[in-house]
Amino acid sequence: MYEIARQIAAVEKGEAIQHETRRWDDEAGATFTMRTKEKAHDYRYFPEPDLLPVRTDQGLRSAAEAGLPELPAALQDRLMRENGVTAYQASVLAADRVLCGYYEKAAKGTPHKAVVANWILNDFLATQPDPATSPVRPEFFGELADLVAGGTINSAQAKKVFAELMANPSSPKALVEKLGLAQISDVGALEAFCDEAIAANPRSVEDYRAGKGNAINALKGFVMKKSQGKANPTQVDEILKAKLSA
């Protein structure tokens, strides 16, 4: 560290750095010149006569480059560009080839690749730090992301499925059925829940129609309670607003 600081100070003063061998003096806490060397031959750098020069053509170099694994910077850029992950997520994945391989298998069959990255980096690694030995098949994450995106389950239900997936690895679709978590998206069933909520909460209905938008949350809560958390919240919101505006 001393020599680094000394040379930086010398350059900042405009001094030239000499080719030399220096020694460290413990008492002085500094380095001092032992001998200087001006040219390469002073260091005895010279060609080895028994070793012939190695010459390569562009074809050989191109073949060697093609055989190299994807470099971290290129991998990080591809993950951000093709999978929509954040720069931080891409850097974490690119730094661990085993983890990245697991993620790419998980994301292969789903368009929701960024969601899969969130599941793996935030939740999966907290319980399964070594993907190479995990009994959870990577494709299960793509399946779970598709279930949420397709409206089969909501985000809260997905967390329950994830917990069960970590404890008993199997198809998320099968786990949804096992846990009875399939989201209710049938319009007729949802309208019945919404009608019941409106009839049971006249004050909230009155407040909403008077301009208090947050009053609708009480109605949503009623529907979610009646449906045991299975009602599609997006559809419930749309149906309630349509009925309250009629």
pLDDT by residue (tens digit) across 2-57? 889 899 998 999 988 888 888 999 888 899 888 776 665 656 666 778 888 888 89
Residue 155 has pLDDT above 90, yes or no: no
231 phi and psi, to 5 degrees? -65, 140
Query: Would you say residue 170 has pLDDT above 80?
Result: yes
* Same domain as 81, residue 10: no
Please state the domain count of the chain: 3
Residues 99, 127 share a domain: yes
Phi-psi region of 190 (alpha: psi -120 to 50; beta: other; left: phi over 0): alpha
In a domain, 225, yes or no: yes
Span 66-75, average pLDDT: 92
64 belongs to a structural domain: no
Q: Is the distance from CB of 82 to CB of 107 less than 8 angstroms?
A: no
Give the pLDDT of residue 81: 97
What is the tens place of the pLDDT at every residue in 72-96?
999 999 999 999 999 999 999 999 9
Q: What are phi and psi of 151, to 5 degrees?
A: 85, 5
pLDDT at res. 43: 60
Alpha helix segments (H runs only) across the chain: 2-12, 58-66, 72-83, 87-94, 97-107, 113-118, 125-127, 139-149, 155-167, 172-179, 187-200, 202-209, 216-226, 233-245
- Same-domain status, 165 and 116: yes
Quote the pTM value.
Answer: 0.61
Q: Note the pLDDT of residue 225.
A: 92
In a domain, 50, yes or no: no
Is residue 161 domain-shared with residue 192, that is, in the same domain?
Answer: no
Task: Give the range among 43-52, 173-182, 187-196 with minimum mean pLDDT.
Answer: 43-52
Residue 153: pLDDT band (50, 70, 90) is confident
Q: Which of 40-49, 62-71, 106-115 has the lowest mean pLDDT?
A: 40-49
Average pLDDT over residues 198-215: 92
58: in domain: no
Residues 193 and 113 in one domain: no
Residue 157 or residue 140, greater confidence = 140
pLDDT level of residue 158 (50, 70, 90 thresholds): very high
The residue range of the domain holding 6 is 2-43
